Amino acid sequence: MSLTTFSFPTPTRFGAGALQELPAQLKRLGVRRPLVVTDAGVAGTEAFRALAGVLGEGGRERDWHVYAGVHPNPVENDVREAAELFLKAGCDGVIAVGGGSPLDAGKAARLLVKRPGYDFGRFYTDGADWSGLAPLVAIPTTAGTGSEVGRSSVITLDATKRKAVIFHPELLAKLVILDPVLTVGLPAKLTAATGADALTHCIESYTCPQFHPMCDGIALEGIRLIVEALPRAVRDGSDLDARGRMLVAAAMGAVAFQKDLGVVHSMAHPLSTICGMHHGLANALCLVAGMNFCARRKPGLYRRVGLACGLDVVGCTDGEADCRTVGFVMQFLAGLGLNTKLRDHGVKPEQLDALVAQAVEDPCHRTNAVPVTAEDFRALYQEVL
Ligand SMILES: NC(=O)c1ccc[n+]([C@@H]2O[C@H](COP(=O)([O-])OP(=O)(O)OC[C@H]3O[C@@H](n4cnc5c(N)ncnc54)[C@H](O)[C@@H]3O)[C@@H](O)[C@H]2O)c1
Ligand SMILES: [Zn+2]
């Protein structure tokens, strides 16, 4: 039996209006001059204005700084620039606010604050001591990645042009604020795509074979929440109850995937780096094909996912249970407008070789429910193209 770590440590404040506690929480953490890390899109939202209002603007000398240059699917340079501003402005903590992109960049910037000029290519080999990173408060404005409760940061590296998952327990936030008011302005399409990312996290983590009943329980309850709340959040963005449930479900998806992920994420990562596709959308377009692929090789894999979706699959054969579950997920995504093909989003057949090559190198599929070969990836991409 292999050894496993069970760890669910992030203190989280949840609820409409939780943002108002930020100044007191910063004080508690000893942060007097935070760097706010975000992206240009978020910087123009009502959510960001609310944050600025809470931190205090105008009048007295402003004692917080903003880096708003993070790209969707962040690159190394975003992390570098954020760290440089942190040092130049004499900051002592990071508030990462936005979707997974600013959260990941803000998390990782603290590594370069500690070691300016550090080469991420060495991350897994040099055993550097990362204790004592600047404290991080993570405030998501999308409900999808769950990056706020994770120990990893997904950054596209200059050297490989691939998404690298930089994983370290020290990357964890000291505090997470889940305030559904901040996601009210997220447009329906992004609400759907980010929610599909959370659903994929729950399904893939539940079905990867490692023994981790705690993560399994969290993943199944996450599925139940998403199936119920995501359509409501997409239909009416101001439904604070649905928005709140989605924020918690997204965090649960990320807690669950400390267990691991699978083939769908290995397909999605190259679609972002090579084709610039949004991560959640990429997962949504690959999820059903990935589930069918796994179910054919491991019948019965999705029975409990089906139960979590509210399907009565107890008395079904393994094959029927999988078929009904995958059919449900297909209809569910279609109901959210996520039933398009890759070519509808500009992906070209000529890009297939590069996609397959990167997917094979991506680590997520190594923990998939069943093994995946390069030929499998090719067939899967062709199916969703
Ligand atoms: N660290 C992890 O554990 C983890 C897990 C999954 C995904 N990821 C990474 O997260 C990234 C994707 O994150 P994402 O899906 O949240 O998208 P994102 O952060 O790239 O944001 C997508 C868009 O939504 C906009 N936006 C965000 N919040 C908004 C709001 N409240 N109102 C209006 N617009 C808003 C942003 O400006 C941006 O244009 C990818 O790089 C992916 O690889 C990380
Ligand atoms: Zn994901």
Q: In this predicted model, what pLDDT tens digit does every residue of 258-289 receive, in sequence order? A: 999 999 999 999 999 999 999 999 999 999 99
Q: List Cα–Cα distances, 9 to 170, 211, 311, 325, in angstroms.
A: 12, 20, 32, 32
Mean pLDDT over all residues of the chain?
Answer: 96
* Per-residue pLDDT at 4: 72
Q: What is the layout of strands, in order, in the sheet containing 65-67?
A: 12-14, 175-178, 136-140, 93-98, 34-37, 65-67
Token look-up 């993570």 returns: 138
Q: State the distance from the centre of ligand 2 to the C-alpha of 320, rounded, in angstroms.
A: 28
Residues touching ligand 1 (Cβ under 6 Å) are 39, 41-42, 45, 47, 72-74, 98-101, 104, 141-142, 144-145, 147, 150, 152-154, 163, 182-183, 185-186, 190, 194, 197, 254, 279-280
- What average pLDDT does the segment 347-370 reach? 97
Nearest CA among 270, 281, 255 for reference residue 338? 281
Can you tell me the distance from the alpha carbon of 46 to that of 41, in angstroms, rounded to the nearest whole number? 11
Sequence letter at residue 107: K
Chain segment 156-200, per-residue pLDDT in tens:
999 988 889 999 999 999 999 999 999 999 999 999 999 999 999
- What average pLDDT does the segment 307-327 reach? 98
Can you tell me the distance from the alpha carbon of 371 to that of 75, in angstroms, rounded to the nearest whole number? 30
Confidence bin at 109 (pLDDT 50/70/90): very high
* Per-residue pLDDT at 6: 76
Of all ligands present, the nearest one to the C-alpha of 284 is 2
- What average pLDDT does the segment 315-344 reach? 98
Q: How far is CA 67 from the centre of its chain?
A: 21
- What average pLDDT does the segment 218-222 reach? 98
Q: Is the per-residue pLDDT at 333 higher than 90?
A: yes
Q: Is the per-residue pLDDT at 59 higher than 60?
A: no
Of all ligands present, the nearest one to the C-alpha of 140 is 1
- Residue closest by Cα to atom 12 of ligand 1: 100
Q: Is the per-residue pLDDT at 361 higher than 70?
A: yes
Other CB atoms within 10 Å distance of the CB of residue 239: 17
Provide the b/e sequence for 118-143 (b: ≥16 CB within 10 Å).
bebeebeeeeeeeeebbbbbbbbbbb
Q: Is the per-residue pLDDT at 103 higher than 60?
A: yes
- Residue closest by Cα to atom 36 of ligand 1: 41
For 271, the token pair is: 């679609």
Residue 98: left if φ>0, alpha if ψ -120 to 50, beta else—which one? left
Q: Is the per-residue pLDDT at 61 higher than 60?
A: no
Confidence bin at 383 (pLDDT 50/70/90): very high
Contact 142, 186 (CB under 8 A): yes
Nearest CA among 195, 186, 142 for reference residue 336? 195
Chain segment 230-245, per-residue pLDDT in tens:
999 999 999 999 999 9
Q: State the distance from the centre of ligand 2 to the C-alpha of 13, rounded, in angstroms.
A: 23
Can you tell me the distance from the alpha carbon of 226 to that of 224, in angstroms, rounded to the nearest whole number? 6
* Per-residue pLDDT at 2: 73
